[in-house]
Structure 1
């Protein structure tokens, strides 16, 4: 008789994780390997990817390292076929690459907004469209796409117009794609709060900013990459087999941005 923990197993499966050189992507890749999956990992920096690959192999799984500029739609789409060719199947895609630097409203040009949409949404779409035909070849019906989004896709905060708009689009993409791909492939997203990754390195050395992040978070701390990896594993495994078209909020309970960027009011 199988127990509840068996539902979290990814034994024999294959995952692609983008932006996997560090932070949330790296944590997802290692978590999936520890759950039994072989993993293709990709980001710009090969040295970082090799460090993650060592952890995947230490868990007894295969790792395929693909350094690439994932802002290039052809490059990101090509990861799906590479995973299938090198690892023999494809079951899960974690669209983690993304991000946009906050900016004042009048400094947010249409080009800047388009770049945010491209990097956060178009990349996820390109990889997913390439992956789906390959995922359909797997016979067990456990295939899954997980988008790593942000709580800024549902909250409002000064300076986050481009980033929040792109992440809102990524979340709704997951809802819409889930209907298109049901019942064969599940599609979900994770709305991430403040997690101590490279994006928050500038805050780590400023006690006043760290205190603001922590005190404005109901759970009283900044998140860890493994908090997000655990949610991604749930959504990608049989544990989450009755979940699709949803955005799981893993944000410490925040309802609004917990870091004030101190952008001034507009003046005539």
Structure 2
């Protein structure tokens, strides 16, 4: 066996949320290229069909589930969908999430709770549904897509950063509960060139400012995250659990300063 063989996941089955585009789509394709069949879910069927086309082009199968992944019952059902479609479940990528910036005094209790729900509760719903199915075989691996803003401070990110910080510590705590048969790790993602940053991509001055505020002087690309997902999910990462990989270009503070004045 060569070192590259350790990145193979032939015969395994993965569920990837938010897989219609961006990090989710790239992660699903990476897992497929490494040998997995994939269950992909998002709200938009046309986007899922495009991801499925790419998965099938590398010789793997994709099972599409159109769902509102902010609803815990729908996200929970993805584990059963994997077993029904492919007979097993080995890998989960909790990619769905996100929260818009807001000033401190505009961040209501409800807004904060909704951020936690979308970024943490949904991951918990899918993971707790997946683990019993994983245990029917050799165990499995869960990868949570967190954010650098869950680790560093910046104005406007209170709800998002609190939720992603909670997801990071959730990962560390759950890894203890799930060891040794199920591994759980997270990725602290930086600024990635996806549709979520369309406003940045279309503004040269803004993009240059973000790049200059990043130690590696560039935005990330989705394959930067997909490669980390594959590492954590595959035998190559088999001695990691409760880890948080910092895939953010070296950020020690947010590289997007929001124009929020002092109170």
TM-score grouping bracket, smaller chain normalisation: over 0.9
Q: In the alignment, which residue of structure 1 is the partner of 2:143?
A: 146
TM-score scaled by length of structure 2:
0.99
Distance in 2 separating the partners of 1:105 and 1:208? 27
Please, what is the CA RMSD of the aligned residues?
A: 0.6
Distance in 1 separating the partners of 2:55 and 2:196? 23
1:199, CA displacement in angstroms? 1.2
1:202, CA displacement in angstroms? 1.1
For structure 2, the residue ranges without an aligned partner over 5 or more in a row are none
Q: In the alignment, which residue of structure 2 is the partner of 1:77?
A: 76
> What SS class does the counterpart of residue 105 from structure 2 fall into?
helix
> What SS class does the counterpart of residue 223 from structure 1 fall into?
coil
2:254 to 249, 254, 257: 257
> What SS class does the counterpart of residue 15 from structure 1 fall into?
strand
1:251, CA displacement in angstroms? 0.4
TM-score scaled by length of structure 1:
0.97
For structure 1, the residue ranges without an aligned partner over 5 or more in a row are none
Q: In the alignment, which residue of structure 2 is the partner of 1:96?
A: 95
Q: In the alignment, which residue of structure 1 is the partner of 2:4?
A: 5
Deviates more, 1:204-213 or 1:13-22: 204-213
1:195 to 182, 192, 195: 192
Distance in 2 separating the partners of 1:106 and 1:153? 20
- Consecutive aligned runs of 4 or more in structure 1 exceeding 3 Å deviation: none
Q: In the alignment, which residue of structure 2 is the partner of 1:231?
A: 228
Distance in 2 separating the partners of 1:10 and 1:225? 20
1:203, CA displacement in angstroms? 1.0
1:198, CA displacement in angstroms? 1.4
Distance in 1 separating the partners of 2:208 and 2:199? 13
The C-alpha deviation readout for 1:217-255, integer Å capped at 9, x for no partner, is 111100000000000000000000000001100000111
1:41, CA displacement in angstroms? 0.2
The C-alpha deviation readout for 1:102-158, integer Å capped at 9, x for no partner, is 00001100000000000000000000000000000113x4x1000000000000000
Q: In the alignment, which residue of structure 2 is the partner of 1:36?
A: 35
Distance in 2 separating the partners of 1:98 and 1:138? 29
Aligned pairs, how many? 263
1:216 to 193, 213, 216: 213
Q: In the alignment, which residue of structure 1 is the partner of 2:203?
A: 206
Q: In the alignment, which residue of structure 1 is the partner of 2:136?
A: 137
Distance in 2 separating the partners of 1:109 and 1:195? 28
Q: In the alignment, which residue of structure 2 is the partner of 1:184?
A: 181
